[in-house]
Chains A and B, each alone.
Chain A
Amino acid sequence: MVSLVWLIPALPLLGFLLLLAVGPRLGEPIAGWLATAMVAGSFVVSVLAFIGLHSQPDHTTTFTLFTWIPAGRFNVDVGFLLDPLSSAMILFITGVGALIHLYSIGYMHGDKKFSKFFLYLNLFVFSMLLLVLGDNLLLTFVGWEGVGTCSYLLISFWFEKPANASAGKKAFVTNRVGDWGFMVGIFITWFTFGTIQYTQFIPVSPGAATTTATIISLMLFIGAVGKSAQIPLYLWLPDAMAGPTPVSALIHAATMVTAGVYVMVRINPMLHAASPWLPTLIAWVGVITALFAATIAMAQTDIKKVLAYSTVSQLGYMFLAVGVGGYWVAIFHMITHAFFKALLFLGAGSVIHGMDDEQDLRRMGGLRKLMPITAATFIVGWLAIAGVPPFSGFWSKDEILTYAFHQNIALYLVGLFTALLTAFYMSRQVFLVFYGKARWNDPAEPSTHEAHSDAEAAAEGAEAGAAAVATAVDAGEHHEIHPHESPWTMWVPLVVLAVFAAIAGFINLPFADSTKYLENWLEPVTGRYGAVVDYSNGTIVALLTISTIVALSGIGVAFLVYRRRKLPAAWFEPPLFLQGWHYDAAVSAFMGGPGRAGFNALSWFDRTIIDGAVNGIGALARDTGSIVRRTQSGLVRTYALAVTIGAVLLMLFVLTRVNW
């Protein structure tokens, strides 16, 4: 059964090729069903492979497809590594992916480029599977780049609006900065170990020199920072909301952004061998990003932007887990996050769809009765992310906090405070959207900032917090909106995801060894070098209780502010948060100013010095040629003279050699 592992990426690839060839002809909705079927098939094979893996030694198996690069000492095969880590990931990638494909059939209904959307989605799933299943760094990198490309293609899917195209470019370029780190990491890995295959270099990496391990891990971490939207390279993710909502759900919640965490967990022995400052750095970057993004999310008015910043924040939690040695915990949170974040995004998409593309929170309200299924599932997702027991998010977030507590109280406290903020802003969102008075027919309030639909179409992207680019909210304009529930292709995935978001936490309960199913399953990959946290049940229960209290307080404060209006909202939504601490603006200013000067200087250098050197060699050859050419006068007597002089020189040379 595990020999079928090659089918897992092959099916989406097949879907991509078929849609490439005959997609427009198949049209709506067959193209969508074809794509969904492919990914669903992948999921079925993943389940089979997962089951089959139990009988393999160490729950690991490899499968080599063909030799790709046989270049002397550098040998790279296309092969798949199916081990506990990758099998866990392919399950939720294909599972959530299939559900999102199904959802998209309804969401993209009526779009002119219907089949192209599914083409890109299938290509994306293929790339992601390649990333996760690849048995060497290069194949992972191919998948890495592939998901980056698909992200770009899908974010700027509606590229007719310049702002969407800019958002796509911004995502790609920011990712590229991280990719540099990844590539350097691959190079150094090869130089150090002579191989880039996981099964070969990872087991020996703890024996590598500390500096080398640190540098490799640091470079790969830089790649992860770009791909998983941590500080300072997170700015592309909020802008990426310009893409269709299923894209945000799949790529920017459940899968692509988790690639960075996956790579860090994959190389955890090397991380363990690195200097202690690097894991500490990773943990602090993660937790600061979590806090930072949570504050920004508190003030956002676009329903998707809140979720985008929330994703950045939750990814920060995952990196916090990696930094404190809780590698399997990061994966745990990744899985639960995939469920509830995809659920929240799809639910938001459902709301947007039902509200005729309205995305402003302030113009919603009271949708609970008009969109019951969406509301119910969204609420499940809300409770999960807020960390309310017994939903999944509670368990995974608490594990992270426990590991942080084990490492450093400061990390724990910041994480706890961020959990409070998370509960707060998510509750805010739920209350504003589903409860309260219906506000969509109210005259538009004067906004605290301008909504520019053609804002700064230059490469540096729009300001953080600008209104949704898909709508134009002008003062005074409002059309009749009749919110309605979405079709079954859209709410069925919501329900399925809600079920998982509710129960996924039970794959790892911290009370007894027998309930720690995920930790035990991942043990071959993460167990040896992860942190060992062995608290008594009493301590565990105490930490759980603290987390619950914090979550409920967050909800409570939001309740007071937004439902009972006991506290003014303005306290919690300062413009600083809305503007994302002006980070985006600062980056734009830098890139436009000193950055541009630097780029121009580099461009000048390339043009004048490097090109000049190369062209100069050509010019030198040409000029030397024209000088030497003059000896070819065509005159016989000149040639005769040359022959004579040559003969004389030869003779004189011989004479110097003669034994006088």
Chain B
Amino acid sequence: MILAATSTAVNDSGFQPYWYLILGALLFSIGAVGLLVRRNPLVMLMCVELMLNAVNLTFVTFGTMLNDIGGQVIVFFVLVVAAAEVVVGLGIIVAVMRRRPDATADDISALRG
């Protein structure tokens, strides 16, 4: 598994780095649809995680394709920020759910025009 995934290995064994990109795109769309369709706030949070992971994968792939360590560095930071985001998001969910245990994403509509 620790095969060098450098650009020189691209042309043999029929494997192409851009397949990662396609996988990333699929993962991202699934996450996006899931975010729009599900109402349970925790599941929505998980869909956001899916999207973030898709993006991470894409970044690493581009780093590989461009022979740049910067792709992985960015992913590192994305990971950190995603963690912080989940922490805050869960805090919000806890605060909301405490009052109304059966709240869903549709119930917070006080800003309607």
Contacts and interface: CB of A to CB of B under 8 A. Distances in A.
Interface string B73-113: 00000000000000000000000000000000110111111
Interface string B7-23: 00000000000000000
Greatest chain B CB density within 10 A among A630, A631, A636, A641 is at A636
A282 B89 CA distance: 91
Interface stretch (B32-40, B55-63, B64-72): B32-40
Greatest chain B CB density within 10 A among A631, A637, A644 is at A637
A490 to B, nearest CB: 78
Nearest to B104: A637
Contact of A637 (B32, B36, B110, B112): B36
A637 B111 contact: no
Interface in A633-650: 633-637, 640-641, 644
Given A640-B35, A640-B36, A633 B105 contact: no
A636 B113 CA distance: 13
B36 A634 contact: no
Contacts of B109: 633-635
Given A644-B32, A644-B36, A637 B105 contact: yes
A631 B112 CA distance: 9
A632 interface: yes
Contact of B111 (A632, A640, A644): A632
Contacts of A564: none
Contact of A632 (B32, B105, B112): B112
Contacts of A630: 113
A70 to B, nearest CB: 47
Nearest to B110: A634
Contacts of A640: 35-36
B39 A634 contact: no
A634 B112 contact: yes
B11 to A, nearest CB: 24
B36 A636 contact: no
Contacts of A634: 108-113
Range for the number of chain A residues in contact with chain B? 10 to 19
B113 A629 contact: yes
A641 B113 contact: no
A637 B105 CA distance: 7
A636 B105 contact: yes
Interface in A608-644: 629-637, 640-641, 644
Contacts of B32: 644
A641 B110 CA distance: 18
Contacts of A635: 105-106, 109, 112
Contacts of B105: 635-637
A635 B108 CA distance: 7
A637 B113 contact: no
Nearest to A630: B113
Contact of B108 (A629, A636, A641, A644): A636
B68 to A, nearest CB: 23
Contacts of A629: 113
A640 B36 CA distance: 7
B50 to A, nearest CB: 14
B42 to A, nearest CB: 15
A632 B109 CA distance: 10
B14 to A, nearest CB: 25
A231 to B, nearest CB: 66
B54 to A, nearest CB: 14
Contacts of A641: 36
Contacts of B113: 629-634
Interface in A155-181: none
Contacts of A632: 111-113
A568 B105 CA distance: 108
A644 B47 CA distance: 14
Nearest to B41: A636
A55 B10 CA distance: 110
A644 B29 CA distance: 10
Nearest to A628: B113
B36 A633 contact: no
A636 B106 CA distance: 7
A312 B32 CA distance: 91
A641 B109 CA distance: 15
B77 to A, nearest CB: 22
Contacts of B110: 634
A640 B105 CA distance: 11
A653 B108 CA distance: 33
B33 to A, nearest CB: 9
Contacts of A636: 105-106, 108
A633 B112 CA distance: 5
A645 to B, nearest CB: 10
Nearest to A645: B36
A530 B106 CA distance: 91
Contacts of B112: 632-635
A179 B12 CA distance: 98
A636 B35 CA distance: 11
A655 to B, nearest CB: 13
A630 B113 CA distance: 7
A624 to B, nearest CB: 13
A63 B110 CA distance: 70
A644 B34 CA distance: 12
A417 B33 CA distance: 104
A640 B39 CA distance: 12
B100 to A, nearest CB: 15
A625 to B, nearest CB: 9
A545 to B, nearest CB: 95
21 contacts: A629-B113, A631-B113, A632-B113, A633-B112, A634-B109, A634-B111, A634-B112, A634-B113, A635-B105, A635-B106, A635-B109, A636-B105, A636-B108, A637-B36, A637-B39, A637-B105, A637-B106, A640-B35, A641-B36, A644-B32, A644-B36
Given A633-B113, A636-B108, 6 more contacts: A632-B112, A634-B113, A635-B109, A635-B112, A637-B105, A644-B36
By Cβ-Cβ distance, the 5 closest A-B pairs, closest first, are: A634-B112, A632-B113, A634-B109, A634-B111, A629-B113
Interface of B: 32, 35-36, 39, 105-106, 108-113
